[in-house]
Amino acid sequence: MRTAFKLELKDARAMVQAAQRKAEEIGVAQTVCVCDEGGYPLALERMDGAR
């Protein structure tokens, strides 16, 4: 049996921010989406210049 980890909005936002920091570090504009266990978006942000 697998235990599902339930994300909260604050955690999803922290994950988006971490991904954006890494994207800036490597010089790539990204769209970052964090989804819940059902595949539904919890947090989504598109960086300036991302496609």
For 30-50, the pLDDT digits (tens) are 999 999 989 999 999 999 999
pLDDT band, very low/low/confident/very high, at 10 (cuts 50, 70, 90): very high
How far is it, in rounded angstroms, from Cα 25 to Cα 5? 29
- Is 35 a member of any domain? yes
Q: In the chain, pLDDT over 70 holds for what percent of residues?
A: 100
Q: What token pair was written down for 33?
A: 């989406």
Quote the pTM value: 0.84
| Domain of residue 20, residue span | 9-46
pLDDT at 1 > cutoff 90: no
Considering its fold, how many domains does the chain have in total? Answer: 1
Number of H helices, E strands in the chain: 1, 2
CA distance 5 to 21: 24
Asked if residue 24 is part of any domain, the answer here is yes
